[in-house]
Amino acid sequence: MMNKYVLFVWLLFFSTVSTSIAAPSLEKRERSNHFDTFTVYWENDLFAGTDRDYTNGVKFSWSTPYGEGEATSLPNWSLPFFENLPFVGGADSLHAVSLSLGQDIFTPEDTDSVAVVEDDRPYAGYTYLAVGFHSRKERRKDNWELRIGVVGPASLAQKTQNIVHDLIGAERGKGWDNQLENELAIDLICESQWRWWSKPVGKNFGFDLIPHLGGRVGTVNVYLNAGAEARFGWNLPNDFGSCPIRGGCETNSAFGDSAGRSSSVHFFLSADGKVVAHDIFLDGNLYHNSHSVDKEPLVGELMGGFVWQHGGTKLTYSYIYRTRQFDTQDDNQTYGSLSLAWSF
């Protein structure tokens, strides 16, 4: 049953992508001179030499370019959403759609214990399909994202981790029998970003600042978040910064047209703070009895890294520092995030 569910999600993702890509006419695409983008994300605490908490995340994302009027490459099914969702409408806005498939894995620090580790987080897996609606102006970008997935054994997180650990010669986690039970996961995420300030510094070098504000409501998470990103580099792209696997901030739908496919190198430093009301990976199942821990209501993140872009290829690496998420967590967490995007 679990394999059938995941196979269905994969087939739904790729069939939707294929249909969406084919939706706009060839004439319209040639006239727009815009490009779709496919992005692979990978996050892991291997970069920090640990194996605990948020231990692995992967996401595959496809996105249209931004467009309007005759230049649009939006699939027809997305148009009613742009007409009715707050923030993303407006005749002077450019629109894009993204589709994503992802999986997140969480484990306690002690993965040798077969029994429940009472003072540590539960084992948990989360596999989801997401559709995003993005709207941008010159200095503002608004994002809506709907995620539908599953938490529990049906996410196949245990199988994913076992396969990877077997390949690299690491020991398997022994407490997966205690993971969260299967539950349907539905979340709505919204985030806005602004390019408030930008300044050229010498020939082709520049600096800018990109604040963001957002929130999430659903069965997986309920929170409000705010933060900002500072960037410095050569040929800074006309986009809204870098984004790890965080709902509502998909940025690689923004290669734009052929003029935006030039070479660029820059460094960034960002901060994000959350006020957390619900986190299923700490609070436990909504509809089943499960292990849980007392979460921290305030969580902060610092992220630093670099972006290299050449033509239609974009590589991003970032290192993330996250404050403690629950009372009995021994230490803050650090992990790495890597993404590779191609425009086509």
Q: Tell me which residue range forms the domain holding 16.
A: 2-25+37-343
Q: What total number of domains does the chain contain?
A: 1
User: In the predicted model, what is the mean pLDDT of residues 9-19?
Assistant: 48
CATH of the domain at 94: 2.40.128.140
Please say if the pLDDT value at position 86 is more than 50. Answer: yes
* Residue 213, in any domain of the structure: yes
Please provide the average confidence, as pLDDT, over all residues in the chain: 86
Separation of alpha carbons 173 and 176, rounded Å = 7
Q: How many CB atoms lie within 10 A of CB 271?
A: 15
Q: What percent of the chain has pLDDT over 90?
A: 64
256 in a structural domain: yes
**Is the pLDDT score of 60 beyond 90?**
yes
Q: Which of 15-29, 33-47, 53-67, 230-244 has the lowest mean pLDDT?
A: 15-29
pLDDT attached to residue 32? 45
Whether the per-residue pLDDT at 24 is higher than 80: the answer is no
Could you report the per-residue pLDDT of 129-149, keeping only the tens digit for each? Answer: 999 999 988 899 999 999 999
pLDDT at 30 over 80: no
pLDDT per position as a tens digit, 160-176:
999 999 998 889 999 99
Q: What is the mean pLDDT of residues 288-306?
A: 97
**C-alpha dihedral, 53 to 55 to 61 to 67, nearest 10°:** 50
DSSP 57-101: EEEEEEEPPPB-GGG----GGGHHHHHHSSSS--TT-EEEEEEEE
Q: What is the pLDDT, as a whole number, of residue 233? A: 96
Has residue 30 been placed in a domain?
A: no
pTM over 0.85: yes
Does 31 fall in a domain? no
- The better pLDDT of the pair 129, 92 is held by 129
Give the mean pLDDT of 215-225.
98
Give a yes or no: residue 111 inside a domain: yes
Q: Is 224 among the domain residues?
A: yes
Over residues 50-61, the mean pLDDT reads 94
Tokens 């923030």: give the residue: 87
What is the per-residue pLDDT for 343? Answer: 87
The pLDDT of residue 34 is 60
* Residue 141: inside a domain: yes
Report pLDDT for 21.
45
pLDDT of residue 250: 65
**pLDDT (tens digit, 9 = 90+) per residue, 234-257?**
999 888 998 888 776 665 554 444
Give, rounded to a whole angstrom, the gap between the first and last alpha carbons of the chain. 36
Do the domain assignments include residue 338?
yes
